[in-house]
Amino acid sequence: MEKLKNDLFLRACKRQPVERTPIWIMRQAGRYLPEYQAVRAKADFLTMCKTPELAAEVTIQPIDILEVDAAIIFSDILVIPEAMGMHLVMHEGKGPIFHNPIRNENDARFLKKINPEKELKYVLDAVRLTKKELNNRVPLIGFSGSPWTLLTYMVEGRGSKNFSEVKKLIYNNPKLAHQLLSDLSDTIAGYLSAKIGAGCNAVQIFDTWGGILSQKDFLEFSLPYVERIISQIKRNDEPVIFFAKGVHHNLIKMADIGADVLGLDWTMNLGEVRKLVGNRVALQGNLDPTVLYANKNYIKQEVISVLQSFGEGSGHIFNLGHGVLPDVDPENVKALVQFVKEESKKFHHRDAEKLKEMN
């Protein structure tokens, strides 16, 4: 395995001693950056995802501009349903649209099993190229949507307010829902394994719509399938992060499914979750993304507040509680990263001493 110049993120994922808290940001490669906009002016979103050179360029931008501690490959969670045979349109202003959503067995019969090295080769090529161009500066994260979150888009066909179509499916045809979730789990496990094989140092599973399910339904239609994926991922010691937005319940069960890190959204108390889950997992998060609209002094105070909430010691990766918003000032994001780097050192005195002894 190559030696990374900065492995803070990976050490924190494994709850090993770190000199300071590492930081990366969900959606850090994105439209709030003028440098991203310049690349986006040359190609539409899906073309960027499917062109390894462009995906690599925008993946690396935040490393150069923000100096974050990890890169996350530029892609989209919906490349999987598209590869399985669904026609995906990225509509400006309306977001992703599947014009032929899956509502019954007949709609589902066109879905095919995929080989990531074939149908999603462009993602793996982007990973390989990014790894080469990163030149071991920082780790590279790969990701996927969870089966439940992907199913939600596949059944709704687009973003939704009340998710009525996917709820109709799980209540009226649970057999089909489970079959689709099961197929998605195996596909995602293969895809994440292929990303690790191509060079990703960690992977994150996004359950963006986990929070729309009741507690009972979350334990039936989401969590077991994430656990199934994690058990199938081919990896050496590459950490797995599980981020379920809006899920405040079953945290101990979520911490026991085999993930190394639990991502938390901004509505949760980091310190309370740490007390609850103990040493089962590292925690990632969880600054409210809208804090980045505030002045720098306010941002700094909120950074300190998040760090204090987690407290001393390793096992914390600083992140936003969801993705960075498109109209945020990049200068505020740069300031956030620097504040975390400066302010977190005082929470790692013991770690620093341990590291001195080890060296």
- The string of DSSP letters for 59-74 reads HHHHHHHT--S-EE--
pLDDT in tens, 51-100: 999 999 999 999 999 999 999 999 999 999 999 999 999 887 778 999 99
- What does the alpha-carbon distance between residue 29 and residue 200 come to, in Å, rounded to a whole number? 16
Per DSSP, the residues of 34-61 read HHHHHHHTTS-HHHHHH-HHHHHHHHHH
Q: Is 153 a catalytic residue?
A: yes
Q: Is 183 a catalytic residue?
A: no
- What does the alpha-carbon distance between residue 300 and residue 159 come to, in Å, rounded to a whole number? 34
Inside any domain, residue 4: no
Q: Is 27 a catalytic residue?
A: yes
Inside any domain, residue 1: no
pLDDT in tens, 5-48: 999 999 999 999 999 999 999 999 999 999 999 999 999 999 99
Question: Can you give the pLDDT at residue 357?
Answer: 82
Closest CA to 250 of 230, 271, 222, 231: 222
293 a known binding residue? no
Question: Can you give the pLDDT at residue 93?
Answer: 74
Question: Can you give the pLDDT at residue 352?
Answer: 79
137 a known binding residue? no
Question: Can you give the pLDDT at residue 349?
Answer: 86
76 a known binding residue? yes
Average confidence (pLDDT) over 312-320: 97
Annotated catalytic residue within 20, 27, 228, 274: 27
Annotated catalytic residue within 32, 153, 191, 225: 153
Provide the CATH number for the domain around residue 105. 3.20.20.210
Annotated catalytic residue within 40, 158, 235, 280: 40
Q: Which residues, 6+ apart, have CB-to-CB distance to 240 below 8 Å?
A: 192, 202, 203, 204, 205, 230, 233, 258, 259, 260, 261
Find the domain containing 206 and state its range. Answer: 9-358
36 a known binding residue? no
Question: Can you give the pLDDT at residue 1?
Answer: 54
pLDDT in tens, 286-309: 999 999 999 999 999 999 999 999
Q: Is 31 a catalytic residue?
A: yes
Average confidence (pLDDT) over 310-323: 97
> Is the alpha carbon torsion for 215, 260, 24, 291 positive or negative?
positive
Question: Can you give the pLDDT at residue 114?
Answer: 96
pLDDT in tens, 164-215: 999 999 999 999 999 999 999 999 999 999 999 999 999 999 999 999 999 9
- Per the structure, the count of domains in the chain is 1
- Quickly state the pLDDT bin for 246 (edges 50, 70, 90): very high
- What does the alpha-carbon distance between residue 347 and residue 191 come to, in Å, rounded to a whole number? 37
What is the CA 186 to chain-centroid distance, rounded? 19
Q: Both ends of the chain: CA-CA distance in Å?
A: 20
* C-alpha distance from residue 187 to each of 172, 213, 228, 229 (Å): 25, 23, 11, 9
Q: At what angle do helices 270-277 and 296-310 cross, to 10 degrees?
A: 20
Query: Taking the CB of residue 203, how many other CB atoms lie within 10 A of it?
Result: 28
Question: Helix, strand, or coil here: 307?
Answer: helix
Question: Can you give the pLDDT at residue 9?
Answer: 98
Inside any domain, residue 352: yes
> Is the alpha carbon torsion for 311, 316, 321, 325 positive or negative?
positive
Q: Is 76 a catalytic residue?
A: yes
* Helix, strand, coil abundance in the chain, percent, nearest 5: 50, 10, 35
Inside any domain, residue 3: no
Task: Assess contact for 302 and 291: CB atoms under 8 A.
Answer: yes
Question: Can you give the pLDDT at residue 320?
Answer: 98
Residue 321: both structure tokens together: 């509680």
322 a known binding residue? yes
**Mean pLDDT score across all residues of the chain:** 96
